[in-house]
């Protein structure tokens, strides 16, 4: 029984053990709220980029609006929500401290703590993303909602769509962080994380709908991508908000989000546990 209790404490399966990971989340969250100047600069960039995207799409829609799978109103909401929650969705959002700890050997300090390293990094990554969203989200949504038609952001397609948007955006955050954790863990098996990060960011930006919304892709390619974990990121909540997903599609998308959360976290924990058993820290 004592060995089981120790195992549960170290893996975080003990409910009481989650308090320490909540402490990591809280510390990293409040630390992230300190970067207000960076948030203001980021908002200015996101306003400009969002408006440029909308103006570009508006030119295409004026030529033949019927040729597009989403209404222009849904698309503008998609773009503004994408900008408002950019730091939550961004595949490029990494903690360099974690990469440095793995590459430089400072991981030894983390291994001395009575915590599960995977759980600790997961809670820190979630906190970093949510703290930056809190600084940028509301101002962007407020200004986007005040813009005139057809450039402004509209309300959710229905009350149900708004509720499911709130649920799926949290599930989306879990999928994003779980994928990010795989990049951290795979760094144990590489000489440098630079190449891995570049490939990951380029692939995810395209496959999650960050560059082009997935409904704009060819039907065959879209069906394949929607089965991948990347489609369970920003693609799901943003399309639900605008109403471009029907009832059956929403249920299927939420189910896939849950499945990928379980699979990605399970694989990440397994690889991390295996890496911890083989890691060698050299130096004095």
Buried b (16+ CB within 10 A) or exposed e, 165-185: beebbebbbbbbbbbbbbbbb
Output the six-digit token pair for 238. Answer: 């943003």
Phi-psi domain of 113 (left: phi exceeds 0; alpha: psi -120 through 50; beta: other): beta
pLDDT digits (tens, 9 = 90+) for 90-134: 999 999 889 988 888 778 887 877 888 999 999 999 999 999 998
What pLDDT score was predicted for residue 282?
Answer: 63
What pLDDT score was predicted for residue 14?
Answer: 56
Q: Distance between CA 80 and CA 140 in Å, rounded?
A: 8
Q: Classify burial at 192, counting beta carbons within 10 Å of its beta carbon; exposed 0-12, middle 13-18, buried 19 or more.
A: exposed
Between 212 and 20, whose confidence is greater?
212
Residue 5 pLDDT grade (very low, low, confident, very high; cuts 50, 70, 90): very low
Nearest to 170 by CA among 232, 84, 244: 232
Residue 1 pLDDT grade (very low, low, confident, very high; cuts 50, 70, 90): very low
Q: Distance between CA 38 and CA 15 in Å, rounded?
A: 36
């Amino acid at each position: 029984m004592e060995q089981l209790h120790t195992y549960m404490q170290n893996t975080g399966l003990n409910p009481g053990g989650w308090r320490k990971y909540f402490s990591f989340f809280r510390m990293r969250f409040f630390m992230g709220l300190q970067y207000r100047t960076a948030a203001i600069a980021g908002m200015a960039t996101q306003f400009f980029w969002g408006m440029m995207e909308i103006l570009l799409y508006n030119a295409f829609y004026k030529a033949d609006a019927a040729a597009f799978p989403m209404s222009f109103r849904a698309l503008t909401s998609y773009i503004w929500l994408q900008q408002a929650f950019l730091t939550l969705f961004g595949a490029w959002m990494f903690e360099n401290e974690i990469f440095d700890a793995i590459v430089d050997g400072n991981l030894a300090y983390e291994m001395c703590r009575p915590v599960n390293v995977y759980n600790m990094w997961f809670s820190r990554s979630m906190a970093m993303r949510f703290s930056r969203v809190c600084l940028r989200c509301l101002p962007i949504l407020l200004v986007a909602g005040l813009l005139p038609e057809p450039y402004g952001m509209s309300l959710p397609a229905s009350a149900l769509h708004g509720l499911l948007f709130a649920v799926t955006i949290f599930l989306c955050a879990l999928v994003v962080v779980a994928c990010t954790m795989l990049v951290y863990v795979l760094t144990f098996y590489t000489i440098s994380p630079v190449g891995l990060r570049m490939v990951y960011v380029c692939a995810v930006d395209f496959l999650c709908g960050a560059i082009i919304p997935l409904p704009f892709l060819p039907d065959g390619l879209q069906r394949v991508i929607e089965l991948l974990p990347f489609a369970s990121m920003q693609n799901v909540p943003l399309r639900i908000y605008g109403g471009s997903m029907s009832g059956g599609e929403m249920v299927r998308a939420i189910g896939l989000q849950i499945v990928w959360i379980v699979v990605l976290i399970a694989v990440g924990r397994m690889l991390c546990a295996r890496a911890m058993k083989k890691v060698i820290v050299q130096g004095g």
